[in-house]
Structure 1
Amino acid sequence: MDWVKQLNESINYIEENLAGEISYETISKIAGCSVYNFQRMFSYIADKPLSEYIRSRRLTMAAFDLLNSTERIIDIALKYGYESQDAFTRAFKSFHSVLPSSVRNETVQLKSCPRLSFQITIKGENHMNYQIEQWPAFKVMGILHKVKTSTAFEVIPEIWENAWEDGTMKRFIENFPDYRPAGFLGIAAGGQWGDSEEMNYILAVTSYVDDSQCKHIPILDGMKEFSYSAATWAIFEANGELPSATQKVYKQFYTEWLPNSGYELADLPVIECYMQENRQEVWIAVVKKQGR
């Protein structure tokens, strides 16, 4: 399925369920990626988190209901997912800067969040340095963290900070193999294709590549080994200050590169490689679209 079509179908699902339950798992299945990757992709394309977009769309539609219907405020609140009129009133005032009751009793100015529509755009403002590689199977050693997809953006930076403080990074440095994917790895795995609200985030280094010249690095105490199959990887250079350097790559990847590449996302983790002197790589597994 066409990538842009998938994204627009995910928006269709959101619109059809504003007055009901919206499942992040269903959204990600429609888009053909994990919950975490869809949230990340959405934030780069829309310049706002998925949760904020859904909340803003619901409050936009709630304002229309107040203007154009005689429904009770409590019924409108329940319709758009608020458990009480007080909770709805607080959210409504925070978004529109007026009380819901004022909409019917006064002439007020309201805010509108328009429905998103994805289109292919070719800006050509910044080039991307990348390569497509058929990479053999490989293994990494590291520490797995269970992370709720809804809080991943807040929790993952804390994982890195704690790893420097508790000596994990020092142990990596002392036993650092010179294998690719190179450097310290941040791997977003699990929760694939919308099957879970929880994902695995693995802090690791590459311990083995399926090559006759490669020696298997022994797994350090307290760490686990994770294996990944041979695959096609789009590897993007993301050099520069963090986090802006990687954020820029993701935004260009989802908005420009992927829609025009002839590839689609593969069901494998996204790997971020952190090396010395502000050098980074982003590894994204892809497969050729059928018929291309």
Structure 2
Amino acid sequence: MDWVKQLNASINYIEEHLTGDISYEAIAKIAGCSVYNFQRMFSYIADKPLSEYIRSRRLTLAAFDLLNDSDRILDIAIKYGYESQDAFTRAFKNFHGVLPSRVRNESVQLRSCPKLSFQITIKGENHMNYQIESYPAFKVMGISQKIETSKAFEVVPGIWEQAWKDGTMQRFIDHFPNYRPAGFLGIAAGGQWGDSEHMQYIIGVTSDMDVEGCKHVPAMEGMEEFEYPAATWAIFEANGELPDATQKVYKQFYSEWLPNSGYELADLPVIECYLLENEQEVWIAVEKKNS
């Protein structure tokens, strides 16, 4: 099954379970990647978070039920996963702009979120500079913080800001081993099957490489050491102002590069490398598709 078929199969799973429990683990397994990678991919291709898409689809169908069925509002609320009529009413009004009770009594304007369908799009508007590299195992020393996966994009900038304020970044500068992946590293780890609600975000530097002659730099006091196995990495140049430069790379990677590459995602963290001013790299682990 190719990447686009996997994505559409995951959307079909969502559609079939809108009136029941939706497992993020099951969605990611169908797509062949981790929960975090799927959520990241989805947000860049669909321009909205996965949770928002699911909520919008449910509220779209709920409006159709209010228009066409005579079921109680409470029954419809429970059908689409809301524990109370009040919770459903708040969500319905936030999405449609009107109370659900008005749908049956008045002519009102409603919103609709259609089912997504992914297709390969070859635009060719912007080229991507990248290399595929089989890279040895390596270690990273740094700090980590457990965060809610759904709030990652909001929380991560604050983690960097705090690291500059509390002297963490200066300690990296003072003891910089200058190994690859180079520069300051931002690593999104976890959010895998079995724990989709949280992920681990790491700020660090490479402290060891599994190559002859490389000197291991032990983790400094108060820091942890993280190990990553030998793997194949697609390394993309992401130069320009942040966050636009990296976001552009992710969007092109998931929507254009990956579907046409002959590769699929490996179950390893995504690594962002911050080098000189406005110079970045994005490391994404990949595997050759089984023919």
TM-score bracket for the superposition, by shorter chain length: over 0.9
1:22, distance to aligned residue in structure 2 (A): 1.4
- Structure 2 SS opposite 1:268: coil
1:94-133 maps to which residues of 2 (within 5 A)? 94-133=94-133
Aligned match of 1:195: 194
Aligned match of 1:74: 74
Separation of aligned partners in 1, 2:269 and 2:118: 24
1:199, distance to aligned residue in structure 2 (A): 2.0
1:1-292 maps to which residues of 2 (within 5 A)? 1-192=1-192, 194-197=193-196, 198-291=198-291
Residue 175 of structure 1 aligns with an amino acid whose one-letter code is H
On the 8 A contact 1:172/1:205 being kept in 2, the answer is yes
1:230, distance to aligned residue in structure 2 (A): 1.1
RMSD between aligned residues: 1.2
In the TM superposition, what whole-angstrom CA distance separates every residue of 1:47-72 from its partner, at most 9, and x where no partner exists?
11111111111110001001111101
113-122 or 103-112: bigger deviation:
103-112
Separation of aligned partners in 2, 1:268 and 1:96: 39
In the TM superposition, what whole-angstrom CA distance separates every residue of 1:235-279 from its partner, at most 9, and x where no partner exists?
000011111110000000000000000000111111110111111
On the 8 A contact 2:140/2:227 being kept in 1, the answer is yes
- Structure 1 SS opposite 2:271: strand
Separation of aligned partners in 2, 1:83 and 1:137: 47
Separation of aligned partners in 2, 1:13 and 1:163: 40
- Structure 1 SS opposite 2:182: coil
Separation of aligned partners in 1, 2:256 and 2:195: 28
Residue 199 of structure 1 aligns with an amino acid whose one-letter code is M
Normalised by the size of structure 1, how large is the TM-score?
0.96
In the TM superposition, what whole-angstrom CA distance separates every residue of 1:69-88 from its partner, at most 9, and x where no partner exists?
11011111111122222221
- Structure 2 SS opposite 1:119: coil
In the TM superposition, what whole-angstrom CA distance separates every residue of 1:72-130 from its partner, at most 9, and x where no partner exists?
11111111122222221222122112221221112222111000001111011100000
151-160 or 127-136: bigger deviation:
151-160
1:154, distance to aligned residue in structure 2 (A): 2.2
On the 8 A contact 2:272/2:283 being kept in 1, the answer is yes
On the 8 A contact 2:188/2:199 being kept in 1, the answer is yes
Residue 269 of structure 2 aligns with an amino acid whose one-letter code is P
Stretches of 4+ moved more than 4 A in 1? none
- Structure 2 SS opposite 1:283: strand
Separation of aligned partners in 2, 1:218 and 1:80: 51
1:176, distance to aligned residue in structure 2 (A): 0.8
Separation of aligned partners in 2, 1:251 and 1:258: 10
Residue 154 of structure 1 aligns with an amino acid whose one-letter code is E
Separation of aligned partners in 1, 2:265 and 2:201: 19
- Structure 2 SS opposite 1:132: strand
- Structure 1 SS opposite 2:45: helix
What is the aligned residue count?
290
In the TM superposition, what whole-angstrom CA distance separates every residue of 1:148-200 from its partner, at most 9, and x where no partner exists?
223222222221111111111110011111111000101112233x2312322
Residue 79 of structure 2 aligns with an amino acid whose one-letter code is K
Separation of aligned partners in 1, 2:60 and 2:220: 53
Q: Percent of aligned pairs with the same residue?
A: 79
1:39, distance to aligned residue in structure 2 (A): 1.2
On the 8 A contact 1:36/1:152 being kept in 2, the answer is no
Residue 251 of structure 1 aligns with an amino acid whose one-letter code is K
Separation of aligned partners in 2, 1:258 and 1:201: 24
Residue 11 of structure 1 aligns with an amino acid whose one-letter code is I
- Structure 2 SS opposite 1:44: helix
